[in-house]
Every structure is written in C-alpha cells, then in structure tokens.
Amino acid sequence: MSQTDMFGEPAQQASPAQASPTQQAAELRTQLHHHAHQYYVLDAPQIPDAEYDRLFQALQALEEAHPELRTDDSPTQRVLGKVLDGFSPVRHAVPMLSIRTETDTEATGAQAFDARVRRELGLTEDQPPVEYAAELKFDGLAINLRYEAGVLVQAATRGDGEQGEDVTQNIRTIGQIPLKLQCAEAPPAVLEVRGEVYMRRDDFEALNERQREHGDKTFVNPRNAAAGAVRQLDPAIAAKRPLSFFAYGLGEVQGWAVPPTHSGLLDALGEMGLPVCAERTVAQGASGPQGLVVFHQVIGQRRDQLPFDIDGVVYKVNSRELQERLGFVTREPRWAVAHKYPAQEQLTQVEGIDIQVGRTGKLTPVARLKPVFVGGVTVTNATLHNLFELRRKRARVGDTVIVRRAGDVIPEVVGVVGEARASYVPNFRMPANCPVCGSTVVREPREVNHRCTGGLFCAAQRKQALLHFAQRRAMDIEGLGDKLVDQLVDSALVRTLPDLYKLGLLKLAALDRMADKSAQNIVDALDKSKTTTLPRFLFGLGIRHVGEATAKDLARHFGQMGRKDDEQKTGIMNATVDQLLAVRDVGPVVAQSIHTFFAQPHNCEVVEQLRAAGVTWPEHEPSAEADAASLPLAGKTLVLTGTLPTLSRDEAKAMIEEAGGKVTGSVSKKTHYVIAGEEAGSKLEKAQSLGVPVLDESGLLALLAQNASGAVESANPDQL
C-alpha cells in the first residue's frame, strides 16, 4: 500500500509518523471500528471503500510487523457486522467466507494466484495447467438462500460469517429470486445458494431521482441502497426498492450431486431458475492464467457498459475436487482470489461551486474539484444535483468530499467527510439571475429545481437544446459536439434548430480551427440527418418529459406530426391533452407538457422551418392502441447477442421495437427469439439449452419481412 494518501501527501491523519506503533495501531482500530459501524450497522458510510481498505491494510501491515500489537478486538481478527435488533439471528450451517484480494497488476495478479495454487497442490512445471473459472465480483451484499425440498425457506445476510440476520421477508420481494426451484427430478433435500444482492445502476438512478423529487434522502451508491433495502424492517418499503441477484456459490447441500466443476455448478443453478451472470469464462488448457489476464482486461474495458457496479473479477479453481484439496486459510479459501479494479469512489477537495444551466433551464450546482482519478478517469467536476441536495450534503468550498463515478453516469458528490471546517465558509446560495443570460431565476412551488426563465434567449439553454437535437439517439449529426456548438452559438451563427441547416460550407469553414475537410464532413452529416424517423425527430425537439421511449410511443400512436393549419386537426401537434392521455405510458404531467409545447407558436414555427429545410420522416395513419397488437412483433421478446454482420446493436434494436417487439438483456423460457451474431456467448448456449429459436441477421430481417405479412407463426424460425 502506498505511503501517501490520494492527494499525494503523507497519509497523516491515519498514522502520524511521530506516533509509536502502539499508538498508531490503536488510532487505526478506533477509526476502523467507527467506519465499520457507520457502514455495516448504520448504512451511512462517511468514507469511500478504497479509503477504508487503505486504513485496514495499514493496520494489517502494522500487526504483521509487530505481532504483539494484535488484539482480539482488532478489526483484522474478526469479520465485521453486527446483528441488528430487528432481525432474528441465523447461524450459518456452513460459514460464509470472504475472498483474498489481489491488488497487483493484471498480469502478476493472475500469475501469482496460479503459482500459489500449483505450489499448494504440489504440481511441478511439467504437469498440466489448472483450469480456472473467472467471473465478476459484484458490488452488493452476500446472501445465503436456503431451499428445502426446492422451496425457499430462509434468506440470511452474511453478518460476521458465522451468524447473519434473517431477511427472508425482504428477499422474497426480489422477483429474480425463485421461491421454488425448477427441478426436472426430485429437488435436493437441502440446497443453500449463495450469491450477491445488488441494485442495477439504472434502478439506482431512478430510485435516487424519486427520492430527490420527494425531497427524501438519497443513497450514496447502489450497494448501499441495496444493503439498506435488504435490512429494511418494513418489507413493503423493501419491495419498492428494485433489487437484483446473482448466484455464485453454495452453502449446505443435502441430497444433491453437486456438479464436479464451478462452471458446471453455475450452469446447473441457472437451470434451476436462479439468476447467474452470463459474463463469465473458463480459462483452460495451455492458456491457463493467461486466460484470466485477458478476462481481467476485457471486463476492465467493458466495466462502464455493464448495467451494474463491479469492483473486480474473481478467479476460482474450477474443479471442486481440487478446491477441496486446497481448503482454507483462516477465513479465506485458497482456491479463489478477487482481483480488483480502480475504485469508483475517491476523496478530493471542493475548490469552488459553479452553476450549470441545462437544456430546460435547470440550474445545477456543480462542484469544481481538485482533480482526482476515479473509476478510470480524471474527474474535475461533479454534480451536486440541486440546492437541497447540496444543503443536505453540507458541501462547501474547501470540504473534503467523496466523489463517485460509475459507468457513463456523470460524476457526483455523494457526501462530505468530517464536520470540522477550517474557517467560516458562507453557505451557498442560488443566484437570483441566470449566470449565462441574466434572466430571472425562479423555483416553482413544490419543485426542488431552480430554473432560468430565459428560454431560448439563454445561450446555455440554446447550446444544450442544439446538443440534444444533434445527439446520436436523436438526429445523429456526427461531429456536432459541444466545442462546435459553443462556437456556433457564441458567434451568433446559430440561434435556433433550423439555423443549423442554413450553415453551409462557407460559414462553417470560416470558423476558428475548422479545416475545409471537417467543414465538409459537418455539411454532409447535416444533410444525412435530414432523413430521419418521427420518434427521433420528436425526441430531438427536447420537449420536457419526452424521452426516447415516450417519443416512440407517441409516434406509434399518432403516426404523424400534423400541421397547425390542418383543418382536420390530426397528428401530435394538434393533439388535445385527452388524446395524449390515450397514449400508452403517457400520464397527466407528460400530456400537459406536450400540449403546452405545441401551444407555443414559436415551437410550431421551428417544426415548420425544419420541414422547409428538408427534414423528413415516414408517416403512417394514426393507429389506435388496438393496432399496436397487430404490429408484426407485438408481444414478442427478443435477445440480441454477438456482433451482427451489417446492423449495429442499436439499429437492430430500433427495427425490432419499430415492429412492436421488445429487446431484453437475458434469455429465459419467455424469450421468443435470440438473434445471434459473431462471437455470441453464453446467451446463445442458454437459448439452445432452453430450446429458444436462434436466428442470424438475415433470419431477423426475414422475420420482420414475413411477419409484416402476418406469416410468422407458421414459419419454422430455425429455417428462415
């Protein structure tokens, strides 16, 4: 462990250089006890995990150098966590262990593990490689599910490893966890399945968004939200928290022939209806540890795109027989190791608080930070969401804060560390006027957000509106990024969306740092974007509350944009609030927002000007909701896997959705088709094992074409 903290300064507060080893150990223990209580018992951590690990490792190192300092109550000597008063204790039939963590570089980490395993098995160099299973290290909390005769009878947390808490009621609310195992033959007398309860990032974002809207406390990270939900005393509240689960191992087993390998075990659990993560591999044969190195690298690159947080990967000796031969040291199996990735939470300091003005005029306080490396990138800004969040978190200039960056989500300040402030720092106030355009700032009653009232007069809102319109999922104008939009708006070349299409080569090429070639590319991209679809166009307009999904629903329902001067009053532009309410998933707030948008003549003018500039999309007759059922893929669920030869994943998804189908991420018995391309992995295997029809790209196209003529049900999809 490095001797410096994350600011590159000596880690003073943890182990003052001048203190004696005894004092240092005592101080570290006090801090660790405090933070463990905050984390495990109160679900309110004050420092990031990486910081906790650092303190823990510092104490471990100290105790290793001075074994006489080791005390029975040292956090290093027992696994943490206390039984809360509200839950009954559960003694684990088989202790729940932890895994040794490797922090080495990716190559040496896997090799060191392999070398250790071989040494302990007494294997010499000329003997064959050991086979390993590699999987993800999910960032949630460990749960033991006890099935007796195939029925879920108890769910318990890990607690201290020997004794946990009975959280059966809450775990039962997790839809992913089967209450009854699917077994072809008689179910095992006892089967304890171990795995991780976690919260997906999108579920976490949505939950926090809801909490924020209601002015409730937000959760620090998905793991914390999951832990809070599992230990929520009121199962009704727990049920509203969207939890997920992955199985990764076993506890007590009676009356079941456990498969001889770990990978086989996970397959078998999957077949019993337990969620098992598809992102796993077996490194076998000559590739041995090299396969693990590649897995670590590949997952590291894809970490941001996963729908949930992981903090590393886990390597396990695949053969259960070898696992048994290897056994355990203290509380860790010798046959498994966790290999971590850089932490997604770090400490840094707030250097200032700026205000950013968004597309809808929302003023977002953003912390300007001392640069910090977190989640694989250097972060210099992090959102504080709104004034109330900022106040609740008590973030002020000069504070040390926890910054979180996970996935593609914008970095955020999740909390402040410590209470002491060096000197008086004034409380942050929202400005009365927009910092960009000077218009009045308002906060509507019962709203948490402050907004600039400048509308498209405000350059910040204009810029964001243009970026929203140009983004890949809307008009997809390649090359129109924030730098160019800044230039275009600041030089007054572009004020409104239609102005984009009046740009031309000359004006573009005259811009600073714009090569002729790039200017031509932008002109081409603008031209190309003119041929679009109604959902993309609608989404691109940036109507409040109209996201991609709503835009698709609206387009499907109305079929046409309509024209204000149309006597028939058809299309979305002319829809009344009641007509809008008839659209699937459109509620009063959304309906009102769409209606208000098109009641503004200047918004309709924008639509007309865009049409005049040549923007077109296919339209169809309005289709009542009943018609949705007659769409070619209505009610069908498809899964995409691997790389298709010509269609991108987004394109394939769009085509399927256009045809009324739904695209999901995992294969189950309910999946109608799996569309498999090059390098399709476990989803393909799963489809085959479940007998779900598998199609290639041309099969998909044929399905869409055939289906359109209503002939699909009789066709054998495998032969398409």
Catalytic center residues? 137
d(Cα 451, Cα 439) in Å, to the nearest integer?
Answer: 10
Q: Which of 220, 276, 336, 436 binds ligand IVH (CB under 6 A)?
A: 336
Going through 375-423 in order, the beta strands assigned E by DSSP cover 377-383, 400-404, 412-416
Q: Which two tokens stand for residue 210?
A: 């809801």
User: Taking the complex as a whole, how short is the minimal distance between the CB of residue 668 and ligand IVH, in angstroms?
Assistant: 21
Residue 462's nearest CA partner among 358, 598, 540, 545 is 358
* Residue whose CB is less far from ligand IVH, 87 or 138: 138
**Rounded (5°) CA angle 678-682-688:** 90
Q: Is 622 exposed, middle or buried (0-12, 13-18, 19+ CB in 10 A)?
A: middle
At 608, which amino acid appears?
E
End-to-end CA distance of the chain: 58
Least distance in angstroms from the C-beta of 321 to ligand IVH? 16
If binding is defined by CB under 6 A, does position 52 make contact with ligand IVH? no
Q: Is 333 in the site for ligand IVH (CB under 6 A)?
A: yes
- Least distance between ligand IVH and beta carbon 342 (Å): 17
Strand partners, 367: 353, 382
* Region 233-262 residues binding ligand IVH, contact defined as CB under 6 A: 248-249
If one asks whether residue 164 binds ligand IVH (CB under 6 A), the answer comes out as no
The stretch among 97-105, 182-190, 287-295, 417-425 that binds ligand IVH (CB under 6 A) is 97-105
Q: Which is nearer to ligand IVH, 138 or 558 (CB)?
A: 138
The site that binds ligand IVH (CB under 6 A) totals a number of residues, namely: 15
d(CA 328, CA 118): 15
Looking at the Cβ atoms of 171 and 314, the one nearer to ligand IVH is 314
Nearest CB to ligand IVH, comparing residues 158 and 463: 158
Please report how close the Cβ of residue 245 comes to ligand IVH at its closest, in angstroms. Answer: 11
- Applying CB under 6 A, which of residues 130, 171, 314, 712 lies at the interface with ligand IVH? 314
Is 202 or 332 the residue whose CB approaches ligand IVH more closely?
A: 332
Q: Smallest distance, Å, CB 283 to ligand IVH? A: 15
Contact range with ligand IVH by CB under 6 A, out of 92-100, 229-237, 346-354, 466-474:
92-100
Q: Is 99 a residue that touches ligand IVH (CB under 6 A)?
A: yes
Smallest distance, ligand IVH to C-beta of residue 95, A = 9
Tell me the residue type at 481.
G
| Subset of residues 135 to 154 that bind ligand IVH, contact rule: CB under 6 A | 135-138, 142
Given phi > 0 = left and psi -120 to 50 = alpha, else beta, which region is 542?
left
Task: Provide the minimum distance between the beta carbon of 333 and ligand IVH in the complex, in angstroms, as a whole number.
Answer: 4
In the stretch 267-296, what mask flags binding to ligand IVH with x, by CB under 6 A? Answer: ------------------------------
Task: Show the tokens assigned to 277.
Answer: 């993560």
Stretch that binds ligand IVH, among 133-141, 290-298, 402-410, 668-676 (CB under 6 A): 133-141
* Partners of 238 in beta bridges: none
Q: Binding of ligand IVH at residue 49 (CB under 6 A)?
A: no
Q: By C-beta, is 312 or 677 nearer to ligand IVH?
A: 312
What region, left, alpha or beta, does residue 259 occupy, with left being phi > 0 and alpha being psi -120 to 50 degrees? beta
Type of residue found at 156: A
Considering beta carbons, is residue 99 or 572 the nearer one to ligand IVH?
A: 99
482-490 helix and 459-470 helix, angle to the nearest 10 degrees: 140
| Total residues belonging to the chain | 720
> Tokens 């955020």 map to which residue?
412
CA gap 483, 481 in Å, rounded? 6
C-alpha–C-alpha distance, residues 718 and 86, integer Å: 54
Q: Which is nearer to ligand IVH, 333 or 677 (CB)?
A: 333
Residues 195-224: x where in contact with ligand IVH by CB under 6 A, - otherwise, as a string: -x----------------------------
| Half-sphere exposure (Cβ direction) of 129: Cα atoms closer than 13 Å | 17
Neighbours of 621 (CB within 10 A): 9
Q: How far is the CB of 143 from ligand IVH (least distance, A)?
A: 8
Residues 384-443 binding ligand IVH (CB under 6 A) are none
Q: Please say whether the beta carbons of 379 and 401 come within 8 A.
A: no
CB 155 within 8 A of CB 171: yes
Torsion from C-alpha of 207, 210, 211, 212, nearest 10 degrees: 120
Closer to ligand IVH at the Cβ: 250 or 692? Answer: 250
The CA distance from 18 to 24, in Å, is 9
Binding pattern to ligand IVH, positions 567-586, x when CB under 6 A? --------------------
Question: Smallest distance, Å, CB 97 to ligand IVH?
Answer: 4
Quick one: which of 209, 205, 201, 155 has its CA closest to 178? 155
Q: How far is C-alpha 536 from the chain's CA centre?
A: 24
Stretch that binds ligand IVH, among 96-104, 340-348, 471-479, 524-532 (CB under 6 A): 96-104
Stretch binding ligand IVH (CB under 6 A), from 20-28, 93-101, 201-209, 529-537: 93-101
Whether residue 31 contacts residue 55, with contact meaning beta carbons closer than 8 Å, is answered with yes
Q: Does 35 bind ligand IVH (CB under 6 A)?
A: no
Residue among 187 and 333 whose Cβ is closer to ligand IVH: 333
60 touches ligand IVH (CB under 6 A): no
Structure tokens at 687: 């489809």
Structure-token match 């070639």, residue found: 517
Identify the DSSP state of 138.
Answer: E
Residue ranges that bind ligand IVH, judged by CB under 6 A: 97-99, 135-138, 142, 158, 196, 248-249, 314, 333, 336
